[in-house]
Amino acid sequence: MPLALYALTAGAFGIGVTEFVIMGLLMEVGADFGVSISMAGLLISGYALGVVVGAPILTALTSRLSRKTTLLALMAVFTIGNAACALAPDYATLMAARVLTAFAHGTFFGVGSVVATSLVAPDRRASAIAIMFTGLTVANVLGVPFGTWLGQAFGWRSTFWAVALVGLAAFAILAALVPRDKPSTTVPDFRSDLKALMRRPVLLGLLTTVLGYAGVFAVFTYIVPLLTQITGFSEGAVSPILLVFGAGTIIGNLLGGKLADRRLVPTMLGSLLLLTIVLALTGFALQNRVLAVVAIGLLGASAFATVAPLQMWVLEKSQGAGQSLASSFNIAAFNLGNAIGAWLGGAVIDHGPGLAGVTWVAALLPLAGFGVALWALRMTRARPDGVPLAECAAVK
């Protein structure tokens, strides 16, 4: 794999830390600003919605720039946003700073996915995407546990200052290793790009992504109270357990990429079913400390095993037209799922069966995603461009 691919991994690491580290600091942020845990959890939903809004907008605005220039500009936005988070005087300002930071997220991964697949042979494209997303998984192994410890020991603001420094380092690595490319000389045809995006297999792929990750984040957003209030771990034990989750994400991400290069559709379907089973069994596992740790590791593996297959599905079904836009929208779909999951988990805690019921509700979401994926396959097999044969006959 070329060095430029690992430069993308470095950028993904920085973004991954700022996205996930807040989950280990919900109690500290809530106590500082005098808000509930579920209210603090909305900082995750706000970030995710920032990705959803920012991905298509920034992808469109940067379409005439070279891809390297785009990636560097996005990393600059990311760094400034984290510094603003560290300086936030109140909850509303912190939310606004999180949303600003999130604007860089979707376009970075969307453009980065296209760059990654262009650097390797066709039969290694899913693996290239998986390597870039390894930055997210390493962020879970190293960045999130360290950031959680740092925030608990020196205050949550210190974590965001540290992440801003990570952003500066990632900017330097991208500048040094990503090859220069020329800006596009063609006028962007957004009508054609949107037409490619509106094809049914692409839309169903995006919906599958939303549902799968809503299930993950309905649980992972509240991982600290789940482990402390249900399983009985101390707050100090949470950071080492997050290392187990992170190790699982690395294994699942790389394995999902390799399997998707061989057989994309079975990998996509199998990973969604595995995620459903793991979420359902986690409800039982949380009653025992050893089983809870095992379940957290399996949750990381099954969650990230879906990433490369779902991203490749959307890239393939967009059929080359508007791939950067389609790729960015799928990153937005991941984060829309994050937002929905964080909100749904909070709703289950506050208005439903409570904290213990979160995992059971979460398991229903990737199961629904599996059903949507089957529907998408039916559309594709009806006709390669995704238009059902019955509609073709009606048009004729």
Which DSSP category does 354 fall into?
A: -
User: Which of 241, 237, 249 has the alpha carbon at shortest distance from 213?
Assistant: 249
Distance CA 327, CA 56 (A): 10
Mean pLDDT value of segment 210-223: 86
Predicted model pTM: 0.70
150 close to 32: Cβ distance less than 8 angstroms: no
Counting residues of the chain whose pLDDT is more than 90, the rounded percentage is 12
pLDDT at 381: 64
Q: At a CB cut-off of 8 Å and minimum separation 6, what does 64 contact?
A: 183, 184, 188
On the CB side of 194, CA atoms within 13 Å amount to: 7
pLDDT of 395 higher than 90: no
DSSP track, 63-91 = TTS-HHHHHHHHHHHHHHHHHHHHH--SH
Distance CA 75, CA 177 (A): 14
Superfamily per CATH, domain 3-178+189-389 = MFS general substrate transporter like domains (1.20.1250.20)
On the CB side of 372, CA atoms within 13 Å amount to: 21
129 close to 330: Cβ distance less than 8 angstroms: no
Confidence band (pLDDT; 50, 70, 90) for 390? very low
pLDDT at 394: 34
DSSP track, 160-226 = HHHHHHHHHHHHHHHHHHSPP-PPP-SPP-HHHHHHHHTSHHHHHHHHHHHHHHHHHHHHHTTHHHI
Mean pLDDT value of segment 366-373: 88
Confidence band (pLDDT; 50, 70, 90) for 92? very high
Structure tokens at 223: 């991982």
pLDDT of 329 higher than 90: no
Structure tokens at 363: 């398991």
Packing angle of the helix pair 200-220, 323-351 (nearest 10 deg): 40
**pLDDT by residue (tens digit) across 256-291?**
888 888 888 888 888 899 999 999 998 889 888 999
User: Which of 331, 280, 325 has the alpha carbon at shortest distance from 310?
Assistant: 331
Q: Which residues of 100-135 are buried (b: 16+ CB within 10 A; e: fewer)?
A: bbbbbbbbbbbbbbbbbbebbeeebbbbbbbbbbbb
pLDDT at 190: 61
Q: What is the dihedral of CA 346, 351, 354, 355, to 10 degrees?
A: 10
* Other C-beta atoms lying within 10 Å of the C-beta of residue 303: 30
Confidence band (pLDDT; 50, 70, 90) for 89? very high
Residue 123 backbone dihedrals phi, psi, to 5 degrees: -80, 5
When the pLDDT of each residue in the chain is averaged and rounded to a whole number, the result is: 81
Distance CA 300, CA 303 (A): 5
- More confident of the two residues 75 and 197: 75
**pLDDT by residue (tens digit) across 166-193?**
888 888 888 888 777 666 555 555 666 6
User: Which of 344, 387, 384 has the alpha carbon at shortest distance from 362?
Assistant: 344
pLDDT at 185: 55
pLDDT of 335 higher than 90: no
pLDDT of 383 higher than 80: no
pLDDT of 83 higher than 90: yes
Instruction: Show me where the domains of the chain are located.
Output: 3-178+189-389
Question: Which residue do the tokens 């549902």 mark?
Answer: 211
17-26, 75-84, 88-97: least confidently modelled range:
17-26
Distance CA 173, CA 324 (A): 22
